[in-house]
Structure 1
Amino acid sequence: MATTAADARPLVELTADAPTVADLVAIADGARVSLGADVLATLAASRAVVEEAIAAGRPVYGLNRRLGAGRDTVVDPAEFAEFQRRTIANHRGGVGESLELRETRAVIAARLIGFTRGGSGVRPELAEAYAAMLDAGVHPVIPARGSVGAADLTHLAEVAAVVTGSGRAFDGSGGIVDGRTALEAAGLVPVELAPHEGLAVLSSNAYSIGVGALAVTEARSLAAADLAIALSLEAVAASGPAGNLSAFSSVVADARGGAGQRMSAAAIRAALAGSALEKPERAVTVQDPLAFRTAPQLHGALRESVDRAQAELDLELAARSDNPVVDTASGAMVSGGNFQALPLALSLEGLRLVLAHVGSASERRAAALSLALAPARSEGRTRVPGLLLYSAAAAVAELRQLAAPATLGITTLSGVEDHATLAPLALRLLQRSLALTGEVLAIEALHAADALRVAGATPTGDGTAPVFGALDALIAGGDASADLVPAALSVLTGR
């Protein structure tokens, strides 16, 4: 990414190189976007294939044949313009709350990135219109629900509606205006869709990919779970022989050999470097409860699950998932099913299950700390509310429910669209799981900080000492737990 003197925002240039999750997240966070010369050439070559198919009169789904069950019904060339408009209007079936602006930008960015891969057959000017909409901050109102994961049709129809001058968009002050008004206010003009573009703008899992990239980035920040367990180890060691570091040794991690476990164990050891737990003369239990000593295995599984999900997102970002896919090498438009992104959907499912395990173990550690604090609590010497543990227990109960499979669900409306991945549902449940897991980890850390203060101990670990200081200051502020928990999570994650 780069910046220019005229605009301090970062710039993401999309080129023939494979795009990354980091590129997409940067655009979602407000970076400008430009299309490289190689991308414009790819778009032109891809569009030429569509124009040649029109001229030759070859039957192509969504071009000169209708959609869904009408796949073999001819579209008269005289109806092409109206067919594009009807296609967009018919797919604006989403319901529910609107996506947040950051999520909206992620959706637009994901579809724009898809255009640049050359499988869509859209004109360069349409791709540039999407880039211009991002740069100008024109944000369509996109209802969150409607896609069943066989391309995120309802989400993308709202984007297409605005870029063509209809639909609804936010006006920058919290209000909503029609799409044409939003474009004009930004100095942009509506685009009229060319033949095939009505389908091409919809043919992508851009919600699952775009918002999924945001979720996976957030999940990676929950490697802060290693810091929470480190602080808990300092807390239990401050008042007894608990806190055996052998479970976090490289010997144990190497004996199994998992990359995630090795990383987690190393992170916990680094956070505790210089702490009292490293003193060889300290009396220590032979081994701690499982919620403590198996943290590297649990947190390692989270790290590996995040890596798997990111690998699937990287694959989807670089893919030509359109149907039909434009193949410039053969000059053909080929019907297929690359929009059926089950590997991505399953990686989102897996993340929820791992988060339930991580959250469950964290709550058990918080419960152990809460029990140890009971005498001090009865004497009025604690500062963290006792029932904060109940909030952790409630969150874990919900995490367990959210961990159930979501992708094995319904069929859709006809004998043609008869299976779907439900990736968007898996993603929405993941977003909730991330929020709940963060709360549980924060509650654990708050209990650990309170236990350390009650014991009159100050952590000396390289990672735990500064975190304890920040958490202790938060607790001393006396904020309600509704404010304290998110603030504590920010301390843990550094976000």
Structure 2
Amino acid sequence: MPVVLGPASPSVADVVALADGASVVLASETVNLLAASRAVVERAIEAGEPVYGLNRRLGAGRDAAVEPAELAEFQRRTIANHRGGVGDALTRREARAVIAVRLIGFTRGGSGVRPALAQAYAALLDAGVHPVIPERGSVGAADLTHLAEVAAVVTGAGRAFDASGAIVPGGEALAAAGLEAVELAPHEGLAVLSSNAYSVGVGSLAVAEAAGLADAADRAVALSLEAVGAAGPAGNLSAFSDTVARAGGGDGQLVSADAIRSALAGSALERPDRAVTVQDPLSFRTVPQVHGALRECVERTVRELERELGARSENPVVDIASGRMVSGGNFQALPLALAFENLRLVLAHVASASERRSAAHSLSLAPARAAGTTRVPGLLLYAAASAVAELRQLAAPATLGITTLSGVEDHASLAPLALRLLRRSLALTGEVLAIEALHAAELLRASGAVPSGAETGPLFRGIDELPNLAAAELVPAALAALRF
């Protein structure tokens, strides 16, 4: 089903759908809005009023005039000068997310680009043209280096991947897709760059992954509770009761407590005659609070992403109502960057508690390991400990960073750095949760128990039926099982 970009505010789900291959349609209202926005730019050109990036240069040259005769060349130089990214190329999915967010930004009416240029970005998505976009280069005052690579391909320059994954010239990739290069009109050289499209686009993919990890974390804990309950009197479910969750009052706590209760519905832990400890260690007992914090942080990050998706972040911003182009700083993405920072911190807490549960399982598995009846290597626990140590480092603030060029562009949010660290944190947290699930399943197997919870039973079978794999392959397979 295509994503229709119209008057309604776009969502993170729209970005994820476009990244995953959905086609895009510009509603007629959107085309009209783009035309009205462009008309403001045309009037500014005719009036000769000084406007940054239109008839004035960029950065420290902001007050130097761009002569009418050099406007076309100025657009080309602007794109070429901003192609300063380095590092590995974004994946196809990530590149699509970047293109999608810049296209969404056009449709909010603040960019002043022509409808034809917006249609060219939509065509890039629909044709599956995948620009080569180096991951690093932006400091979070608009993702300039990322967007310059997209603009280069749209204009017939740059580089792109062909169907086989080989890198080809951008013009060749357009021709193979049946598309024509676009020549940028005055102001469009800056307008195509004026967006935090990497931070918002790839951030949307990251927050969707974080939401999935919150669900996976609850399932891992449910399996751990069944495991410790089968091995002894642990696994007290009172900490997950609706009574305790409502006494705490956190929305995320309520959701996680309910999810774990639902996963354990029908399990042996619910038997009223079962001998059970008064209360479990904190790494078990405070899961709803810890996982609830993750869920609430995910919601906050989604709100910040969707605020950015609905915003007119360009500089200068085209204001249709007043007919003016106004310089400002809506590209400053600090609220979003801080949400990324907070998400990394809470992931470190989630993983730290998970590693402690794995350690408890590992201790209980010592006799089975000594007898040679386990298949999970004892040293797999070290991998979890190593990941948690790295997560603690990744949780440190990244946004209090450097100044940039001259005395003009002298502060930036560093949102892209905060996001790159978040992506690493997500990967490590997934590994730690998978290691917990593997240890829990191993403890159940050693106890001779078969979990019967609504979700723990299928989860145990999914892990138990995995083939004998090396640890490096076993952990991703277990994480996939957690995400069923």
> Residue 87 of structure 1 aligns to a residue in which SS?
helix
Alpha-carbon deviations, 1:467-487, whole Å to 9, x = none? 01111111xx11111111111
Matched residues in 2 for 1:291 and 1:480: separation? Answer: 28
Q: Give 1:385's aligned residue.
A: 377
2:467 pairs with 1:483? no
Residue 209 (structure 1) shift: 0.3
Q: Give 1:287's aligned residue.
A: 279
The amino acid across from 1:379 in the alignment is A
2:318 pairs with 1:302? no
Residue 246 (structure 1) shift: 0.8
Query: Quick one: which of 356, 360, 363 aligns to 1:368?
Result: 360
> Residue 418 of structure 1 aligns to a residue in which SS?
coil
Residue correspondence of structure 1 range 339-350 to structure 2 within 5 A: 339-350=331-342
> Residue 238 of structure 1 aligns to a residue in which SS?
helix
> Residue 260 of structure 1 aligns to a residue in which SS?
helix
Q: Give 2:93's aligned residue.
A: 102
Q: Give 1:492's aligned residue.
A: 482
Alpha-carbon deviations, 1:346-390, whole Å to 9, x = none? 001100000000000000000000010001100011111111111
Q: Give 2:305's aligned residue.
A: 313
Q: Give 2:13's aligned residue.
A: 22
Residue 279 (structure 1) shift: 1.0
Q: Give 1:472's aligned residue.
A: 464
Residue 463 (structure 1) shift: 1.3
Alpha-carbon deviations, 1:177-221, whole Å to 9, x = none? 111111111111110000000000000000000000000000000
Residue 413 (structure 1) shift: 1.3
Matched residues in 2 for 1:295 and 1:425: separation? Answer: 29
2:58 pairs with 1:67? yes
Residue 230 (structure 1) shift: 0.6
Matched residues in 1 for 2:147 and 2:16: separation? Answer: 18
Q: Give 1:139's aligned residue.
A: 130
Q: Give 2:328's aligned residue.
A: 336
Unaligned runs of 5+ in 1: 1-9
Matched residues in 1 for 2:374 and 2:172: separation? Answer: 57
Matched residues in 1 for 2:272 and 2:285: separation? Answer: 19
Residue correspondence of structure 1 range 29-428 to structure 2 within 5 A: 29-223=20-214, 224-428=216-420
Relative to the length of structure 1, the TM-score reads 0.97
Matched residues in 2 for 1:333 and 1:340: separation? Answer: 18
> Residue 25 of structure 2 aligns to a residue in which SS?
strand
Matched residues in 2 for 1:452 and 1:302: separation? Answer: 27
Relative to the length of structure 2, the TM-score reads 0.99
Residue 273 (structure 1) shift: 1.1
Residue 460 (structure 1) shift: 1.0
> Residue 3 of structure 2 aligns to a residue in which SS?
strand
Matched residues in 2 for 1:185 and 1:396: separation? Answer: 46
Alpha-carbon deviations, 1:106-153, whole Å to 9, x = none? 000000000000000000000000000111111110000000000000
Q: Tell me how many residue pairs correspond in the alignment.
A: 483
Matched residues in 1 for 2:240 and 2:125: separation? Answer: 46
The amino acid across from 1:241 in the alignment is P
RMSD: 0.6
Alpha-carbon deviations, 1:44-84, whole Å to 9, x = none? 00000000000001110000000001001111111100000
Matched residues in 1 for 2:179 and 2:375: separation? Answer: 55
Matched residues in 2 for 1:460 and 1:101: separation? Answer: 41
Matched residues in 1 for 2:8 and 2:99: separation? Answer: 19
Matched residues in 1 for 2:32 and 2:280: separation? Answer: 62
The amino acid across from 2:430 in the alignment is G
2:4 pairs with 1:13? yes
Matched residues in 1 for 2:241 and 2:23: separation? Answer: 45
Unaligned runs of 5+ in 2: none
Matched residues in 1 for 2:394 and 2:227: separation? Answer: 31
Matched residues in 1 for 2:17 and 2:264: separation? Answer: 33
Matched residues in 2 for 1:377 and 1:115: separation? Answer: 60
Identity percentage of aligned residues: 76
Alpha-carbon deviations, 1:434-484, whole Å to 9, x = none? 00000000000000001001100011111111101111111xx11111111
The amino acid across from 2:252 in the alignment is G
The amino acid across from 2:464 in the alignment is D
